[in-house]
Every structure is written in C-alpha cells, then in structure tokens.
Amino acid sequence: MVSRRGFLKAGGLALFGIGLGGIPGFLADAVASTVTPSLFKKKKILVCIFQRGAMDGLMAVTPFTDNFLKAARPSLFMTAAKGNGNEKPLIDLDGRFGLHPSMAAFEPMFREKRLSIVHGIGSPNNTRSHFDAQDFMESGTPFKKGTSSGWLNRAVGLLGHEAATPFQGVSITSSLPRSFYGENPAVAIRNLADFNIQMRGNVAGAKMASKSFEDLYDQTSSSLLKNTGKESFDAIKMLQKTDVKNYKPENNVVYPASALGNSLKQIAQLIKMDVGMEVAFAESGGWDTHFNQGKDTGVFARNVNDLSNCIMAFWNDLVKYQDEVTVMTMTEFGRTVAQNGTGGTDHGRGSCNFILGNGVNGGLVHGLVNPLAKENLEDGRDLAVTTDFRSVFSEVADTHLGINNDKVLFPDFEGKKIGVMKA
Amino acid sequence: MKSNIRNFYLCVILFCCAIVFSSFVRIMGADKVAMPYKKAGLTTEQAAAHLLSRFTYGAEPGQVEELTKMGLDKWLRKQLEGNLEDKELDQMLSKYDAINFTNSEVEDVFPQGFRINRWAIKDGYLHKDSLNNGNSKAQREAVQAFMKDKGYRPLQELYRQFISQKILRAAYGQNQLRELMTDFWFNHFNVALNKNQCASFVPAYERDVIRPNVFGNFEDILLKTAKSPAMLMYLDNFSSSGVNVPMEDQEMMLMADGNKMNVEEKAKNKARINKIKQQIQQKKKQGGLNENYAREVMELHTLGVDGGYTQNDVTQAARVLTGWTVAPLGKEGYGVGNRNIIERLGSNGLRDKGFVLDGDFFFNANRHDNGEKVVLGKKFPAGGGYDEGVELLKMLAHHQSTAKFISKKLAVRFVSDAPPASLIDKMSKTFISSKGDIKSVLVTMVNSPEFWSQDALREKTKSPFELAMSAVRSLDAQITQPYELYTWINRMGQQMYYYQAPTGFPDNGQYWINTGSLLNRMNFGLALASQRIPGVSLNLAALNNHKEPESVEAALLTYSKLIMPERELGQTVARLKPMLNDPNLQQKVAKAAEQNSANKQNGEMADQQMDMKPDKKEKMKLGNGKKAMENPTIKEQKGNNTMLAQVVGVIIGSPEFQRK
C-alpha cells in the first residue's frame, strides 16, 4: 500500500504561509499571464482525452485514394478533390490520408509537425463491446479483467517523485475513471468551483464550518484522516488563489461551450495555477455513430469539430506552457469499413488517434493501413489493428513524463515503440 | 457370521450417531455466540456500540440501550437469521414496481436503447434517414411516443428504482446484517450497470442470487452467481464456446492417435478423421473460448491471486465452463438461437442430449468443449458435460486458498483494514470444518478476541454509502427521494453499482479517503443537517425531545452524544468549543442565513410539497418507532435551528464520524 504523503511537506510551499491562509503574491500572479519560476521543479503534463463510443478513424483521417473504401461507403466516402458541389473536401495531409474538413483547426499543427496521427491503432483483444474494450484500454491489460489499477494511475506511481500536492493526477469527471483506479493519489473533480466547503449563500456559515473542520481534522488521532484533511484544506486554498469562475483564457481564446471544452478549460486553469498536476484526464462522448453519421456535415462532423476546436483552444490558451504539455486522444476501437443500412458504421477494430505537443514526431500519419481489400481486413470486415495501443501510450508516457518502467506501466506487453515522439 | 452381521449393524448405528452428533455440533457451533468483549475491557454499552457500528449501517437513536437490554447475543442471532419482519420498509418499497420484475419482464418492459430505435423504425415512428446520434428533439419525441404506445419504459427508471431500494433497505430495514452482507457479496461477485449487456439483469441478481444466500454455504452463492445472467454477461462467459466432438468420434480420434487402430481401420476412417480434424481447426479459428470468467472466478471469487493456479488452469477451467450461457429471456431478449434449440428439442430432448435449462440459465451442450481437461491437477474426463462445471466450482469453493481468501476478506470488511493473521486462521479453519458455512465463519469472527480488541475499535473508515446511511439513521431522517442521496454518495467517491472492474470497490480507508472525497463528506454533513438535500428531511429538535439546548456549547455536547453514542468525544467538543463561543458568530451566521431564507424557504416548501407523495404522509403517520414527525416551529427554523444545523453538520463531517 502506498503510504500517504504529507501534502507540501517537501514542496517548500508551506514556508510561504499557505497553511495560515496567506497566498504568496507571486503565485497569484502566475495565474495572470506570465510564467513565474515554479515552486516545484518544472513538471511535464500529459493530458489524455478518451473518446467514448469508438470513433470512426476512417472518417476522421481517410485513406482517400483507397477504392475499396470508396466502394464500401457509397454515401459516406469523401475525397480531397474539390468540385464536389457544396461538399467540403478533405484536407490532404500527405497525398494518401485526408483530414476531415471539420478538423481544419488541426491542420496548422500537423504542418508544423507538432501533431502526429497513428492509424490502425487498437487493442490486441478483438472484443467489439464498448465496455470491455474501454475497460481493457484503461486498465492497460487487454486480456485481463481483474487488473485492479488503471494505466494512468500506474503512470502517476512511476513519476519517480512524491506527490507534492493532491492534484498530481486529476480527472475532470464526476467519478474516477477506470484509467485512474489504483493506489496512487488521483482526484476526480467535476467542477473546480465546487472544490470548497459549501453552504449555499451562507458565507459566514461556510467559513465557520470550514474553520471547524480544519481544526477537527488537524487534531484527529487517525493519521489518514488528519493528513488528508490537511491536504484538502491546503488544496482549497490553492484553488482559491484564483477566481475560477471568471477565468480569462489567454490569446482571446474562446473554448467551445461543450463538455470537453469545459473540461479542458479547467485543466488549463490547473496547469496555470501550478498546483503540481502531471497527469490529466477528460472525456468526449457521442462517437457511437450507428446512424446517419453524415459526411462534411452532420453528427460526426460536429463531433470532430468539437474535438479539434477544444484541443486547439486549450493549446492556444497554454501558449506559455506548450513545452510542458502533451495531449493524446484515445478511443476503444474503430468502426466497420463498410457503412451499415442506416447511414452509419458499426463496431470495428482499428481506429486512429492524435498526439499534440512540441516533443511529438509530428506531421506524419504513423502506423500501417493496408489497402482495404477484404482479404486485408480483420475478420473480413474491419480495419486491422496494426499498432498496439500500449506501444503508443507507453512511448508518449515514457518520453514526455520520463517514465522508464514499462513492465509496470503495461504488464505483459513486450511490443516495440513506433516513433511517435521525437527521439 | 452372526457376529459379523451384528458388528456391521453396530458400525452402521455408530456411524449414524456420528453423523447426527457431528451435525449437532455444527449447528451448536454455528449458534453459539459468545462474544468475549468483557475480557477486552469493554462495557456492554461499548460492545453494543461497536457491534452496531460493524453489523448495521449505523446505530439509530436509542439503539445502544435497546441492544444492551435485549442482550447482544440474542440480537446477533436474530441478525444472523435475517428474517425479521419489515412492514415499514415493505411499505416504502411498494411504490417501486420494477424491483420485483423477473429478468424476462425487465427485458420486455425496459428494452435496451438500440433495440428501441430499431423497433421504432420498424413500426414507422422513426424514419431511418432522420436518425442521428445528436438526439434531436424530433427524434426524442418520436421515440417517446413509440415507447408510450408500446408500454416500454426507459432503463434509467429501472436503475433509479433499484438504487432507491438499496438506500431504503440500508436506512430503514430491520435485517441490517443481511443488507451489509448483500453489499459485501455483491461487491465480491461484482457486476456493473455500466456494462449494457448485463445491466438489465443486475436488479434480479442482487435480489435472487445474492440477498437470499448471504449467510448460506459459499458453494451455493458461488454456483448461483456463475449461473446468473448478470455474471454470465459481465464476464463474458455467455459467449464462450468450445469444440464439441461427438463422443464416438472422440474415441476414434483417441484410438487413431494412440495407434490402437490397425492400418486397415485407419485407411477406412481416414476421410472421417480428417473431416473431424478440419472441423476442430475451423472452430479454433473462430476463437470461441473466452477466459474472462474462468480467470476471475479463481483470482477474485475463490482462490485469490496467489491461490496457486496457473494460466493453464485458467484455460482448462474456461474449457470446462464452455456452453454455460443465458436462457432466452423475454419476448425479444437475448438468446434467439437457444430459443430455437429449446423449442425444437422439448424438455425430454434437452435432457437426453445433455442440455440444461434451469431458470435463466442455459447449458448449451452444442457449445461445450467435451474433451478431457485438467484443472489444478484434477482430471475432468471427456464427456463431462454440465456436471463437470458444477464439480469444478465445488472444488474451488472448498479449496484451502478459498477458505483463507474469503475469511480475510470478511475480516477486512468487519474488523480492520489489516486484520491479524490469528483471526484469519480461526475463520478459515471454521470455513473448512463447516464446509463453507458463512454464518459459522461470522460467528467465529465475533467470538474471537480480535474482533473486540482496541486495535479494531473505530479502526474502519465508513464508505461513502455507510457514511450517508449512518448519518440518516443517527438523525432519524425521513427519506422520500432516495436517489438524491445517491448523487451525494457518488460525489463522495462511491458510484454504487457502477464500479467497472470485477474486483469491486477496494475495502479500506486509504481508498475512500482522498482530498476530493473528504471535502464532499464535510459538505454532505452540512447539506444534510441544513436540509438542503431534496427529499431528505429531519427534525433536530425532536431528536432531543424538543428540549432546546441552553447554549451552542450544550447543543454540541448533546448532539455529539446522540449521534455518536459511546464515543470518546472530548477532543471533538474541546476543538469546536472556542469557535462556537465567538460572540459574533451566531449573529453572523443567522444574518447570512436570513438573507437567503426568503427564496430558500419558498423553494424548499415547493420542493417539499412536490415530494409529499402519499407514502410520505403514510410514513409520517406511522412514525418511525418512538418519534412522530412534527413541523419545526418558525423560530427553530430561522434562529437557533440554523446554528443547530451547523453544529450537527460539522459533527457529521467530523473525522470521528467517518470512523466506525
């Protein structure tokens, strides 16, 4: 069992009197606009976005020269060629793959080689159940249900230093996702503004209650309750340094008013507050497009538009922190090569994912997508999984977070890395 | 000759006596509750408080005295029987119709979302070209109209009812230990509502598979979970299939392989042998074997991760359990293929061909791998069919490793996060000697000094569910909207019935107490005490027999004692006193509260009227034991009561109250 660490014991922050309710002035400034010398040793931050429901990788990043795909998707297939009426063409990335036009926000990043794409990524376990596939991807053990921890929790444990704050691993969800299950500290926060002692409208009452609790927890004989109590109150004070409700992003960035936009905005706030966060998690939904997924407009277009715009808002908001941050998307599986009878696609195998960051080996579509002839498809119907998700996840985590124990991060995995990050 | 016969009879008689005697001893053993709390230096009141904190969802006001009077052993025996009359609870549960549905009824009334869309298209309510995932308003309305016309209800409603019943049972049920054990075994044999394929079957799983069997034999509950649709779906065994080669073909293959055939015979049968080989290859290619259940039944349900099995045992056990699947449920539910088999063969045909249809369980002999297997060194000869699966589970249930694993888990649940080895030893010995009798293991636990030692007292941390329930029970709160409590329990870090991994929730303080969850525990206390949780009301004045405490300090002392009987409260009271004595504080709080009271009161009154369903009036009439609900006076609400609520809220959120 992991021993509880005294919050800020080693961090030095306590010296500035946070425990007494004071807020170091320069910390408050940190939120404003400039990056001040960090109290903690500069830490890298990995932000993971889980696209629940299984994104159609073949529509997000289309091998548009593939005639098998064209034939299998009579009403879904798009090309990079102009002149298709009002239909927007794909964004030609490399003569073979085209980015969905609603993800135009990603194009500059790809051209600047800061965005990389892995195609044909997925799990070696061929389950097509959302639940099982998500479970396996989040636990990181594709053939073992009983793994008690999630891979991001293990990543937190492998960072190689004690948590300076309770925010080392943060999920912007109402409950802890499977990825964060485990013994290392991780916290689920739905809304930063709620992270406080609350008495609706009764400020004096809340203050009194807060003080009472703080005092009680400080005196309790249970060290678990005592230490966590202290952490909690220190954490409140950390978050109160800034007006989380009236947050002003940098660069006049406007986050899309979507669930993902809201999550990433809060992650950006935590990064700027310098609360010691190193692994963050957010979710994006609506990818299970069995019905009329559309082409350049429609459900799928709206989804990828939101995904790319949220990520780019986040990226531009963090203009001064971009060297520290890597963003990685993931989805449980891809969708059938052929469209179904209701203008959508069904559960498949391989999909694609996006990795954004200055340390990324960008501007490339990594992985292997063979011509989508029936004999090349998995079970005769799906884009084959040619890259194990663990290969990519471990490379990103290792390179960006400096983790060097893949045996713990992904037990039973022996595969090679494919070079999605710069060497 | 004669003496031989006489000896024989004598032997038989002695043998019978021995059986009768041993079962007598066993019954006596199971029944003999001798709790050594006095030796541990506890008063009967203290022991009662400890017992209540571990074997109920929290003491109700006056319950410590009640137990002391009744006798702890008598109370415990009744709890271990778990059949106390529960009229009040039954009345409360009566408004939740769906919690009594069979799995088939659930399938028929609460179809999965994807089915509804498909059917709505078929019946012309929706046009397939207008369908999208964006859930447009038009689409939602069309689906609603379709559901209404057909009498379908949304699954979410089933979950809400199901979650509500759990909360009401824990809060008001008389058979508290049965509920705790239901929670324990459910978590041990975890299934989850977030897996669509099994979600519909979870309510019946808890009701029929878990709750009635919590004190019985471990073998029974193991076998029943293995055969339940919820578990079969959750760990995918429903889909696991193997190669079924007819017995005569198998014999032939064995003979051919073992060179027991002469050349002529071989030549004669060559075509047939090749065909069988081809079939086996083809089946293998289809990859029908699913090891998920076989692995977890050993790792999580019986032996434990270090219980001494190998990957090969897992694969072999999975082969034993191929063909164990779900019977056709509902009119259009899962298992159409099986339905055809059942209709075609009829009950006699099924039996003759080795199929088993048992309630919601179906053994599909065609999908069973009927070759020979070896699990944990035990040989399961070819052709074992359904029975070999039962045999396997029985073997696992009575394994030495299982005895230890289950005993430890029970001790962790009821005694301490790190229970002493001596206690686990005693419990596992009982587990073995009683052949897995859970009640006997529990009795051994409370008969052990370790249960009563200083190291165990207040050592456990309440789970969020336990915290919420103990708060509600200690304040004698009236719950009319149980689901509102669920959202708080979730916020405190326990999304009940949604724990994704088959491990179930970890059962230790380290897991429950973290920064975010701890803050929410404090906020829960404040929200509950100041009646800001819709559908949960309390009467703090009534709790103290309408005696208004003379001072804030007196309130603190009085209510601390009421809420946490038999606890050492010196520290709590001493720490809070100076703050409460701030001369301006009360004024400040009251003023702030009054500023809000106008809209707040209006809002809450409206809420309350909305919630005043008939059952609440009924409940108020029935009262809850001694105390009847009375409306607090305006003065109480506005003035002192704000302060009192604050004090009580802080007590509920205090570190002492998080412990049990």
Q: What is the pLDDT of residues B137-158, one digit of tens each?
A: 888 888 899 999 999 999 999 9
C-alpha B429: how far from chain center = 25
Q: Which two tokens stand for residue B131?
A: 């369908």
- Average the pLDDT over each of A11-25, A135-149, B98-112, B634-648 and give the range with the smallest value: A11-25
Residues of chain B positioned with their CB less than 8 A from the CB of A270: none
Query: Nearest 5°: CA angle at B617, between B613 and B623?
Result: 140
Q: Are residues B493 and B524 in the same domain?
A: yes
Are the beta carbons of A296 and A101 closer than 8 angstroms? yes
Percent of chain A at pLDDT > 70 equals 90
Whose tokens are 């103290």? That residue is B544
pLDDT more than 70, % of chain B: 82
d(CA A298, CA B371): 53
Q: Under an 8 A CB cutoff, do A205 and B500 touch?
A: no
Reading the block at residue A205, the tokens are 């009452």
Give contacts of B194 with chain A, Cβ < 8 Å. 131
**Are B339 and B349 within 8 A, CB to CB?**
no
Q: How many CB atoms lie within 10 A of CB A352?
A: 28
- The chain A residue lying nearest B417, using CA atoms, is A1
Which tokens belong to B319? Answer: 């082969």
Q: In whole angstroms, what is the distance from residue B647 CA to residue B529 CA?
A: 8
Of the listed ranges A366-370, B265-269, B325-329, the least confidently predicted one is B265-269
Place of tokens 């037990």: A411
Contact across the interface for A135 and B197, Cβ inside 8 Å: no
Clarify whether residues B494 and B602 are in a common domain: yes
Query: d(Cα B169, Cα B426) in Å, to the nearest integer?
Result: 32
Residue A231 has its nearest CB partner, among B134, B495, B515, at B515
- Examine residue B97 and state whether it is found in any structural domain, yes or no: no
In angstroms, the CA A6 to CA A84 distance is 63
Closest CA to B102 of B323, B327, B325: B327
Tens digits of residue pLDDT in B420-458: 999 999 999 999 999 999 999 999 999 999 999 999 999
Q: Does a structural domain hold residue B354?
A: no
Rounded to an integer, the average pLDDT of B191-210 is 96
Q: pLDDT tens-digit profile of B310-322?
A: 999 999 999 999 9
Asked whether the beta carbons of residue A205 and residue B593 sit closer than 8 angstroms, the reply is yes
Confidence grade of residue B127 (pLDDT, cut at 50, 70, 90): confident
When pLDDT is cut at 50, 70 and 90, the band that residue A408 belongs to is: very high
Is B491 among the domain residues?
yes
Chain A nearest C-alpha distance from B83 (Å)? 35
The answer to whether the CB of B157 falls within 8 A of the CB of B98 is yes
- At residue B609 the predicted structure's pLDDT band, cuts being 50, 70 and 90, is very low
Mean pLDDT, residues B16-20 taken together: 55
pLDDT tens digit sequence for B387-410: 999 999 999 999 999 999 999 999
Q: How many Å is the maximal CA-CA distance in chain B? A: 108
Name every chain B residue with its beta carbon within 8 A of the beta carbon of A224.
461, 509-510, 513
Q: Which of B268, B240, B269 is nearest to B252 (CA)?
A: B269
**Inside any domain, residue A370:** yes
Shortest CA gap A182–chain B (Å)? 8
Could you say which of A204, A211, A299 has the minimum Cβ distance to residue B133?
Answer: A299
**Interface mutation vs chain B, best among A199, A214, A283, A287, most B CBs within 10 Å:** A199
Q: Rounded to an integer, what distance in angstroms lies between the CA atom of residue B498 and that of residue B504?
A: 9
For residue B280, the tally of other CB atoms under 10 A from its CB is 17
The answer to whether the Cβ–Cβ distance between B128 and A291 falls below 8 Å is yes
Domain that holds residue A368: 44-193+244-409
pLDDT at A40 over 80: no
B423 found inside a domain: yes
CATH code of the domain containing A149: 3.40.720
Provide the pLDDT confidence category of residue B575 given band limits of 50, 70 and 90: confident
What is the count of structural domains for chain B? 3
Query: Per the CB < 8 Å rule, is A201 touching B299?
Result: no
**Predicted confidence (pLDDT) per residue in B282-334, tens digit:** 665 555 899 999 999 999 999 999 899 999 999 999 999 999 999 999 988 77
- Asked if B653's CB is within 8 angstroms of A289's CB, the reply is no
**Is a pLDDT exceeding 50 seen at residue B524?**
yes
Amino acid identity for residue B552 in this structure = V
Whether residues A131 and B197 touch (CB distance < 8 A) is answered with yes
CA distance B608 to B605: 5
Question: What is the sign of the dihedral through the CA atoms of A5, A6, A11 and A13?
Answer: positive
- For residue A353, the cross-strand partners are A118
CB–CB contact A145 B501 (8 Å)? yes
- Confidence class for position B608, pLDDT limits 50, 70, 90: very low
Q: Is residue B361 part of a domain?
A: no
Side chain identity at B484, as an amino acid letter?
E
Examine the pLDDT at B356 and tell me if it is beyond 60: yes
Structural domain boundaries enclosing B634: 464-658
Q: What element of type H or E holds B148?
A: helix B137-150
**Residue in chain B lying closest to A75 (CA):** B129
Residue A85 falls in which region: left (phi positive, over 0), alpha (psi -120 to 50) or beta: left
CB-facing half-sphere around the CA of A164: CA atoms within 13 A: 17
Query: In angstroms, what separates the C-alpha of B515 from chain A's closest C-alpha?
Result: 5
Select the residue from A168, A240, A291 to test the B interface by mutation, using most B Cβ atoms within 10 A: A291
Q: What is the pLDDT of residues B630-647, one digit of tens each?
A: 333 333 444 456 788 889
Cα atoms in the Cβ-side hemisphere of radius 13 Å centred on B132: 16
What pLDDT is attached to residue B554? 86
Q: Which one, of B219, B215, B186, lies nearest residue B390 by Cα?
A: B219
Cα B409 to Cα B597: distance, rounded to the nearest angstrom:
48
Residue ranges of E strands in B482-576: 536-537
**Does A364 reside within a domain?**
yes
State the CB neighbour count (10 A cutoff) for residue B3: 8
Claim to verify: residue B447 and residue B486 sit in the same structural domain? no
Angle at B619 (CA atoms; ends B467, B182), nearest 5 degrees: 40
Tens-place pLDDT, residues A173-200? 988 999 999 999 899 998 998 889 988 7
Contact: A225, B526; criterion CB under 8 Å: no
The verdict on a CB contact (< 8 Å) between B501 and A226 is no
Give chain A as a 3 state SS string: CCCCCCCCCCCCHHHHCHHHCCCCHHHHHHHHCCCCCCCCCCCCEEEEEEECCCCCHHHHEEECCCHHHHHHCCCCCCCCCCCCCCCCCCEECCCCEEECHHHHHHHHHHHCCCEEEEEEEECCCCCCCHHHHHHHHHHCCCCCCCCCCCHHHHHHHCCCCCCCCCCCEEECCCCCCHHHCCCCCCEECCCHHHCCCCCCCCHHHHHHHHHHHHHHHHHCCCHHHHHHHHHHHHHHHHHHCCCHHHCCCHHHCCCCCCHHHHHHHHHHHHHHHCCCCCEEEEEECCCCCCECCCCCCCHHHHHHHHHHHHHHHHHHHCCCCCCCEEEEEEECCCEECCCCCCECCCECCCEEEEEECCCECCCCEEECCCCCCHHHCECCCECCCCEEHHHHHHHHHHHHHCCCCHHHHCCCCCCCCCCCECC
* pLDDT value for A31: 39
The answer to whether residues B472 and B444 belong to one domain is no
Higher pLDDT, A412 or B16: A412
Does residue A11 fall inside a structural domain? Answer: no
Cβ distance A294 to B132 less than 8 Å, yes or no, reads yes
Residue B130's pLDDT band (cuts 50, 70, 90): confident
Residue A29 confidence (pLDDT) above 50: no
* Mean pLDDT, residues A366-386 taken together: 97
Asked if the Cβ–Cβ distance from B576 to A187 is below 8 Å, we say no
Query: What's the pLDDT at B272?
Result: 77
Distance from chain centroid for Cα A74: 33
pLDDT at residue B14 in the model? 60
Nearest to A213 among B291, B650, B659 (CB): B650
Residues 6+ apart with CB under 8 A from A223: A4
Considering the domain boundaries, does residue B648 fall inside one? Answer: yes
Give B549's pLDDT tier (boundaries 50, 70, 90). Answer: confident
Picking from A13, A1, A25, the residue whose alpha carbon sits closest to that of residue A231 is A13
Query: Which residues are CB-contacts of B463 (< 8 A; sequence separation ≥ 6)?
Result: B494, B505, B507, B512
Max CA distance (Å), chain A: 74
Top pLDDT among A304 and B604 is at: A304
Please say if the pLDDT value at position B500 is more than 50: yes
Q: Are residues B416 and B512 in the same domain?
A: no
Domain count, chain A: 1
* A340: in domain: yes
Determine the residue of chain A that is closest to B189 in CA distance: A146
- Report the share of chain B in percent with pLDDT over 90: 66
**Considering the domain boundaries, does residue A231 fall inside one?**
no
Same domain, B431 and B554: no
Q: Provide the pLDDT for residue A185.
A: 86
The answer to whether B128 faces chain A, any CB pair under 8 Å, is: yes
What's the whole-number mean pLDDT along residues B368-386? 96
User: What is the per-residue pLDDT for B623?
Assistant: 37
Instruction: Select from B571, B579, B531 the least CA-distant residue to B553.
Output: B579
Distance CA B255, CA B252 (A): 5
Res B339 pLDDT > 50 = yes
The C-alpha atoms of residue B251 and residue B3 are separated, in whole angstroms, by: 49
Residue of A3, A194, A224 best to disrupt the B interface, most CBs of B under 10 A: A224
**B431 vs A165, higher pLDDT:** B431
User: What's the pLDDT score for residue A423?
Assistant: 83
Helix (H), strand (E), coil (C) string for B257-286: HCCCCCHHHHHHHHHHHHHHHHHHHHHHHH
Six-digit token string for B221: 């509950």
Judge: B132–A225 Cβ closer than 8 Å, yes or no.
no
Q: How far is B597 from chain A (nearest CA, A)?
A: 10
User: Please, which pLDDT band fits residue B335 given cuts at 50, 70 and 90?
Assistant: confident
Neighbours of B125 (CB within 10 A): 20
By C-alpha distance, the chain B residue nearest A172 is B516
Among B518, B556, B651, most A C-beta atoms within 10 A, so best to mutate, is: B518
Q: Which of the pair, B130 or B122, is modelled with greater confidence? A: B122
Inter-helix orientation angle B385-397/B311-320, to 10°:
140
Which pLDDT score is estimated for A359? 97
Model confidence over B469-479: pLDDT tens digits? 999 999 999 99
Give pLDDT tens digits for A82-114: 888 889 999 999 999 999 999 999 999 999 999
Q: List the one residue out of A378, A351, A350, A365 whose CA is nearest residue A420.
A: A365
Q: Which run of H or E residues covers position B251? A: helix B247-257
With beta carbons less than 8 A apart as the criterion, state whether A177 and A281 touch: yes
When comparing pLDDT for A359 and B544, which is higher?
A359
Q: Residue B585 falls within a domain, yes or no?
A: yes
Whether B575 and chain A come into contact, CB under 8 Å, resolves to: yes
B291–chain A Cβ distance below 8 A for any pair = yes
pLDDT at residue B97 in the model: 97
Q: What is the C-alpha to C-alpha distance for residues A225 and A394, in angstroms, rounded to an integer? A: 35
Structure tokens belonging to residue B140:
């939602």
Of A2, A209, A343, the CB nearest to B129: A343
pLDDT higher than threshold 90 for residue A44 = yes
Cβ-nearest to A232 among B117, B291, B515: B515
From the DSSP assignment, how many helices (H) and strands (E) are in chain B?
36, 7
What are the beta bridge partners of residue A61? A99
Residues B442 and B484 in one domain: no
Q: Which residues of A396-406 are buried (b: 16+ CB within 10 A; e: fewer)?
A: bbbbbbebeeb
Q: Which of B409, B426, B452 is the last residue of a domain?
A: B452
| B12 found inside a domain | yes
DSSP 8-state assignment for residue B98 = G
The pLDDT assigned to B276 comes to 74
Residue A5 has pLDDT above 50, yes or no: no
- A380 Cβ neighbours under 8 A, 6+ residues apart: A374
Out of B131, B461, B495, whose CB is closest to A292? Answer: B131
Q: B133, A224: Cβ pair inside 8 Å?
A: no
The number of beta carbons lying within 10 Å of the beta carbon of residue A26 is 11
> What's the complex ipTM?
0.82
Q: Give domain status of residue A217, yes or no.
A: no
Residues B475 and B497 in one domain: yes
List of chain A residues whose C-beta atoms are within 8 Å of the C-beta of residue B297: none
Same domain flag for B436 and B583: no
Q: What is the mean pLDDT of chain B?
A: 86
Q: How far is A304 from chain B (nearest CA, A)?
A: 13
Q: Let me know: does B292 contact A145? Beta carbons within 8 Å.
A: yes
